[in-house]
Amino acid sequence: MCRHLAYLGERATLASVVMEPEHSLFRQAWAPRLQRYGTVNADGFGVGWYADDDDLPARYRRAVPMWADSSFADVARVTRTRCLLAAVRSATPGMTADESAAAPFSSGRWLFSHNGAVSGWPESLARLAATLPPGRLLARESTVDSALLWALVLARLDEGDDPAEALSAVVLNASAAATGRYNFLLTNGDRIWATAYGDTLFWRAGEHGTVVASEPYDERPEWREAPDRSVLIASRDGVDVEPLRPARKETAAP
């Protein structure tokens, strides 16, 4: 299990979103408050963000706990962005431990994170994996379950699915194939999409921006919890939460 968050709003330092709040993602690496599975998130971390003058996001990922990387603290203090996605990792036993397994995963303008786990991996999702073109499978950044789920989402995005439909369809198809927890976060720098399936998801929209997170990072009363089996869409104009909705077209497994 992991903890993750995304931010969309006015320019802010990475540190002000990820490290400085009282119950920040940084603190959740060793002291999460609402985590149901596992007790710490010390198997790596990653942050992806968008610069004003670049169409593609930058990423900083490590296979060490966030608190053990003093260089990131310096980067986070001086780097500003209008959108970011960050995660701290608690690795499923047997999964690879290198930084390639740390979210966020990326492709073009997309950043993606999975907070959860898939039972019976990898055999449980073999039929879904078989629906992907060989090139898509070979292009995965890692062999972990999250990387395959991202490949399935990305395939739908490339086919023209709406992001909320793409996430919803992968959650529903994967959960039909294997028991698991499928909380996803996705952003392209302009919007945030997220799913709640098997674990907590909260959001807060304020004067300066919107945060979507596994758990609140402060005690402000504006936090709202998304219901289980829902999809959240956050833009600069507001937040919508609705039931998971499958894509209009389904990819048939062989």
Catalytic residues: 2
How far is residue 188 CA from its own chain's centroid?
12
Show the CA angle centred on residue 87, arms to residues 64 and 214, nearest 5°: 135
Quote the tokens at residue 177: 């194939």
Q: Report whether 217 contacts 23 (CB < 8 A).
A: yes
Residue type at 99 in one-letter notation: E
* Residue 163 burial by Cβ neighbours in a 10 Å radius (0-12, 13-18, 19+): buried
Cβ neighbours of residue 145 closer than 8 Å, sequence gap 6 or more: 92, 95, 114, 117, 118, 121, 122, 125, 180
Residue 198 zone, left/alpha/beta (φ > 0; ψ -120 to 50; rest): left
Sign of CA dihedral 49, 51, 57, 61: negative
Q: Report whether 215 contacts 28 (CB < 8 A).
A: yes
Q: Report whether 112 contacts 106 (CB < 8 A).
A: yes
Closest alpha carbon to 118 in 25, 37, 192 = 37
d(CA 163, CA 180): 21
